[in-house]
Each structure stands twice: as C-alpha cells, then as structure tokens.
C-alpha cells in the first residue's frame, strides 16, 4: 500500500535537506556468509549498478532507563567482519547499504547532479520492496524468520553560513529557536539533545536525536551548520509492515521537530507552504 | 538399559524412561563459563544459566545417569570432568518429574550413560533447578547458590 | 560511524565534533574526548562480552554457539541504561543458544537479566536463600525498573566502601 503524506505535516518547497537515510536492523541469518554478497547485489543491481565497500556499522539499539548522554558506543571486536556494501544508482545519488544485519536506503545531494529530494513517499515505497526482496532471499537460504529489531530514519540538513567572522552564532540564532547565542562570539557549535517517545499505551519505544554542529565543505572554505535529526527505535513487532509503520511515524516526528525548532525567518527562506 | 524410543530418522524422542526410577540420581556437568564471582566478595557461584536446555531442535538438558555410571564401573571424576567441565551437580529424579520434566535415556556414541531432561525450560524453572542442585563433584571454593 | 553516505573516506563534509570515536582501539584506550576513561564496569563488561562472542562452537562440550553479536551489543547498551558510573561490574555468562545472562549477587540479593534476544529480556530480583520467588518481569527495551534495582545495589556497594574513587 503506497505511503500517503499526512495532511497536517509541515511542508517546505526548498528544505535544506542534504541527505535522507531510512533503514532497518535485523537478526542476521546464520546461513548467510559474505561469499554470497554478490547474490544480494543481484537483487538490486538493475537500478544500483555500482558498488563500494565500507566498514560495517556496529549493532545499535535504543534502550531506556538512565538518561542518555553522549557516552561512547562500544564496537565489540568479534573476529572476522563483513563489509558494508554500498550499491549505488548510476548518478550515485541513491544507494542501498547492506551488511548481514542492516539494510538502508539513502538519498543524498551529489555535486554536479541536478535533482531534488525525491520525497519520503517515493523512498519508502522503494525501500519496502527492497526489504521484501532481502527477506525472501534469506528465506530461500533457510532462515526461519526475518525479525527486524530496530528501525531508523535520518534527515541531514545543511545550512550555509555567510562567511563573516560571527556567522556561526548569527546564523544559528536566525535559524534555530533552541539556541540563543546572541551574547557570544561563537567559533564552532556542537549541540545535542534527545527526546524519548511513547506509544498510546505509554510504553517507551523510540528516541529522537537532534544534533546541530559546525562543519565545512571539504575542498571549499564554505562553513555550514549541519542539522541532523534521527528517529530510532524498536518496531512493535519484527515484521516488515511494523517496520514501515515505524519509519512513517519517524518521518512525521522528524518533520514536526524540524518545524518546531527552526524559526519563522528560516521557514520563509525554505518556502514553508504548510 | 532398554533402548529409548526413536523417530524414523533415528533421533531419540523425548520420553520418561521406565527404568529411570524416581529415586534415581542424574548428574549435570558444570562448565567453567557458568561460574561467576559475587560482587560482595562472598565467593564464586554457579549461574542459573547452567540449568537450561540445549539449542538443538527438540533438545533438552544434558545429564548423565548415575546408575549407569556405577553399573558400568566408571570412576565419576574421570568420567564426568575434563574439557569444558570443572564440576558436577546431582538431582533426584522425582523433583524433576514434579516440575513437569521428562527424564529419559539418550545414549551417545561417546557416552553410553547420557540422558536428557526434556520439557519447557523457562527462567522460573532454571532458578528452581539451581535451588535443587546438590554437589556430585564439588568445585573448590564454589557455592551452589 | 553513521548511516550517512558521507561517512566514507570520500566524505565531503568534515565535522568539527569534539567527541570523536577513535576506530580500532581496545576498550582501555577509549575516552569521552575530555580525558575521562570509561567507568570500571563498562571496561570490564566490554572485555567479557568480547570474550563471549569469541567462544568456540561447542564451548559447552556439545553444540552451543558463542554469544551472538547482536545480543552482546544489546546487552551492553542495556547496561548503559542501567548502571551508573559506580555500579559494581556485573558478571556475564553465556547461554546455550547465543543468549546470555547479566548478574549481580550482593548481600544475599541476586539480580539476573537474561537476554534471550534484542528487545527480549527476563529480569529477576530475589534471593536463593529465601523461600519467596522474588520479582520477575519481562522487558523489551525499557529498563527503568532494573535501573532502580541496580541503583539500590550500588548504594549498598558504595556504603560498604567497595566503590573505587
């Protein structure tokens, strides 16, 4: 069933989106080994003909109890590791990331390629198909059950500075409601906050992570502020349908938070229409 | 001992063996991985995780049948210890059956005294087994609970 | 490392994030970037979990697999949600199916956290010396109850002067 944009969701004509990633984490199937990675690529190769290799991401879970801080996540060393494969579209704007316990679909702006963010509804439709293909493949290998234990959706926004000395503080003040740096001459900025959320039964199940930090474009002197919003958590059940439902909820949460923490001045620049 | 019931592919079917009487004793070997030090300095303990079924489909908790060990003339310590095992505990069969477990005979190629405790293993039961265990071959300076 | 497709060597954005995770180091060398080392329990737990995921197949003398990578990571993040800096280091033991159990025994009270899978934990607090069954709860990813248990245990630990400065 195609995803439909919620009616009341804030909408922008020119959002500063630089990258969107949607993904699931699942119990790895014991029957899968890295030598079979070409069979995984074959599932997607028609639309993603290029491949690159990255270091695998460690498993990640949202758990609740003590307040989360910026504590380090440990990457336990378990011996031989699998690569994280990137299967890229011809223009390299879209990619599928695969490792034995993760599947993600990213869209990103690529220099020299003129195209707009394809919108969540298109991405989630493709991703639903992609997860289904993978689950069917693992089933043929002999996996008993494809169990998704974590979902995440990330929006990364780039907000350019204007190059002046006090630009970081000034632009941050004009863009974000959550920070007031007017009394300071800010050189760099690193701000993080988390928000827990509950389901209608009052059960904690997910977290929104918000990060605002200074950065600069490699090869250029352009400094920017990066606003990264991630919703991560456990779906209600381990099924694909439950994961998609979580991602749809996560997207709404990200967009609503984006609108809440940014100023009306910024919304005018980004062309808010709703 | 009478051969246990088997499926067409030769696997032993979970059963209560008639020749394993309620007052018989069965032995559970303890792995060094299931020993831990109490944080209050009171010494080393056996974890309740030692008392669970194996992960094999239809598997139970591996045991050795003391009657067979004795009948066949084995020395317990030599027979039960070594490799992964540093000690052993015993259970009387009747309390196991009272916990809705079946206690049966499951001879292996390398262990003719092997048996199994089959049934639903949950955390309440593994703690109950920890309470019920008694030393057969005591591990020095280790407490049962 | 993140899910961003700009996290590779050809990333075109460099972060000025002051808290960097240095890849490939042993747990003893990790820091928060402010010169602080990990709490004792974190270093001990990470070391033990690494040992458990490296157990040989058949470590139990039969066919038990090592503790699963996912379960180990989940257990560690669970502990981060439960333990304050001064918490006593938990004991961690393997199950026979890739599962594991985190446990403390202090002053006659035992806490056992049986991690069957990610988001599937049986938590129990009680005593093997007492007649009553104790308190058992099935948990997914909310460990508020267990955090309270461990906080009480940590208070006893500190009162006994066992906490490190």
Work out the pLDDT band at C12, boundaries 50, 70, 90: very low
CB atoms within 10 A of CB A118: 13
Q: Where do the structural domains in chain C lie, given as residue ranges?
A: 27-159
**Mean pLDDT value across residues A178-188:** 79
Residue A72 has pLDDT above 70, yes or no: no
Note the pTM of the prediction, 2 decimals: 0.89
Read off the pLDDT of each residue in B12-21 and give the average, rounded to a whole number.
96
pLDDT at C14 over 70: no
Instruction: State the pLDDT at residue B124.
Output: 95
For C111-144, the pLDDT digits (tens) are 999 999 999 999 999 999 877 789 999 999 999 9
- pLDDT(B47) > 90: yes
Q: Confidence band (pLDDT; 50, 70, 90) for A218?
A: low
CB B49 within 8 A of CB B36: no
How confident is the prediction for chain B on average, in pLDDT? 95
Lowest mean pLDDT among B18-32, B112-126, C120-134: C120-134
* pLDDT of res. A79: 63
Residue with the larger pLDDT of the pair A252 and C132? A252
Give one word for A114, left, alpha or beta, with left for phi > 0 and alpha for psi -120 to 50.
Answer: beta
pLDDT at B41 over 80: yes
The pLDDT, as a whole number, for residue A7 is: 81
Chain C CB contacts of A158 below 8 Å: 13
Task: Please report which confidence band the pLDDT of residue A76 belongs to, taking 50, 70 and 90 as the band edges.
Answer: confident
In the structure, do chain A and chain B come into contact, i.e. share 3 or more CB pairs under 8 Å?
A: no
Query: What pLDDT was estimated at residue A187?
Result: 81
| Nearest chain C alpha carbon to A219 | C12
| Tokens 């066919």 found at | C63
Return the H-helix or E-strand segment holding A28: none
Work out the average pLDDT over A155-162.
88
The secondary structure element, H or E, covering residue C165 is none
Q: Complex ipTM, two decimals?
A: 0.94
Q: Which residues of C touch B39 (CB under 8 A)?
A: 88-91, 104-106, 153, 157, 162
Contacts with B51 from chain C: Cβ below 8 Å: none
Q: pLDDT grade, residue C102 (50/70/90)?
A: very high
Q: Where are the domains of chain A?
A: 17-68+79-270
- Which range, of A208-222, B71-85, C52-66, averages the lowest pLDDT? A208-222
| Predicted local confidence at residue B109, as pLDDT | 93
Where does C25-143 have alpha helices with state H? Answer: 40-53, 69-82
Find out whether B104 and B3 touch, Cβ atoms under 8 Å.
Answer: no
pLDDT in tens, A5-58: 888 899 999 999 999 999 999 999 989 999 999 999 999 999 999 999 999 999
| Chains A and C touching, counted as 3 or more CB pairs less than 8 Å apart | yes
Q: What is the H or E stretch that residue B57 is in?
A: none
A 10 A CB-CB count for B73 gives 7
Least confident piece of the model among A108-122, B103-117, C24-38: C24-38
Distance from CA of C146 to the nearest CA of A (A): 8
Q: Are B124 and B56 in contact, with CB atoms under 8 Å apart?
A: no
- Are the beta carbons of C12 and A218 separated by less than 8 Å? yes
Which pLDDT belongs to residue A162?
72
DSSP C142: B
List the single residue in A with minimal CA-CA distance to C22: A72
Question: According to the model, what pLDDT value does residue A165 have?
Answer: 60
């Amino acid at each position: 069933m195609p995803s439909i944009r919620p009616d009341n969701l804030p909408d922008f004509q020119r959002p500063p989106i630089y990258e969107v990633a949607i993904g699931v984490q699942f119990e790895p199937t014991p029957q899968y080994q890295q030598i079979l990675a070409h069979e995984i690529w074959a599932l997607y190769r028609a639309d993603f003909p290029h491949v690159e290799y990255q270091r695998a991401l460690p498993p990640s879970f949202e758990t609740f109890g003590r307040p989360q801080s910026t504590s380090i996540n440990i990457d336990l060393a378990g011996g031989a590791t699998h690569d994280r494969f990137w299967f890229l579209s011809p223009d390299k704007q879209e990619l599928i990331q695969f490792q034995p316990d993760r599947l993600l679909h990213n869209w990103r702006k690529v220099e020299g390629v003129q195209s707009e963010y394809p919108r969540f509804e298109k991405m989630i439709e493709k991703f639903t198909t992609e997860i289904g293909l993978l689950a069917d493949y693992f089933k043929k290998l002999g996996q008993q059950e494809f169990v998704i234990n974590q979902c995440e959706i990330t929006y990364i926004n780039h907000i350019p500075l204007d190059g002046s000395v006090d630009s970081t503080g000034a632009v941050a003040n004009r863009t974000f409601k959550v920070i007031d740096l007017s009394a300071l001459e800010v050189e760099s900025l690193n701000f993080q906050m988390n928000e827990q959320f509950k389901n209608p039964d009052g059960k904690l199940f997910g977290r929104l992570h918000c990060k605002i930090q200074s950065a600069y474009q490699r090869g250029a002197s352009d400094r920017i502020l990066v606003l990264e919003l991630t919703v991560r958590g456990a779906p209600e059940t381990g099924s694909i349908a439950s994961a998609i439902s979580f991602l749809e909820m996560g997207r709404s949460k990200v967009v609503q938070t984006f609108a809440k923490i940014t100023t009306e001045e910024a919304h005018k620049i980004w062309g808010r229409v709703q | 001992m009478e051969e246990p019931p088997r499926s067409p592919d030769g696997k032993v079917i979970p059963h209560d063996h008639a020749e394993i009487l309620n007052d018989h004793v069965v032995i559970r070997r303890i792995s060094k991985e299931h020993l831990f030090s109490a944080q209050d300095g009171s010494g080393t303990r056996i974890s309740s995780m030692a008392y669970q079924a194996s992960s094999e489909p239809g598997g139970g908790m591996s045991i050795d049948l003391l009657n067979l060990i004795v009948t066949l003339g084995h020395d317990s310590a030599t027979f039960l210890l070594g490799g992964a095992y540093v000690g052993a505990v015993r259970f009387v069969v009747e309390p196991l059956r009272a916990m809705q477990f079946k206690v049966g005979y499951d001879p292996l190629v390398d262990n003719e005294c092997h048996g199994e405790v089959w049934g639903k293993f949950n955390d309440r039961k593994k703690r109950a087994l920890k309470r019920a265990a008694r030393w057969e071959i005591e591990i020095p300076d280790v407490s049962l609970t | 490392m993140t899910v961003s497709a700009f996290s590779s060597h050809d990333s075109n954005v460099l972060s000025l994030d002051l808290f960097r995770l240095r890849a490939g180091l042993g747990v003893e060398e990790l820091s928060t970037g402010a010169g602080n080392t990990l709490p004792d329990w974190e270093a001990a737990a990470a070391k033990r979990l690494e040992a458990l995921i490296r157990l040989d197949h058949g470590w139990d003398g039969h066919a038990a697999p090592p503790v699963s990578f996912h379960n180990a990571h989940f257990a560690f993040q669970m502990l981060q949600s439960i333990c304050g800096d001064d918490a006593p280091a938990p004991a961690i033991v393997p199950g026979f199916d890739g599962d594991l159990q985190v446990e403390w025994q202090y002053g006659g009270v035992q806490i056992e956290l049986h991690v069957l899978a990610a988001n599937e934990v049986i938590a129990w607090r009680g005593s093997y010396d007492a007649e009553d069954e104790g308190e058992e709860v099935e948990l997914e990813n909310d460990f508020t109850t267990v955090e309270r248990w461990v906080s009480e245990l940590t208070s006893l630990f500190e009162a006994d002067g066992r906490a490190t400065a």
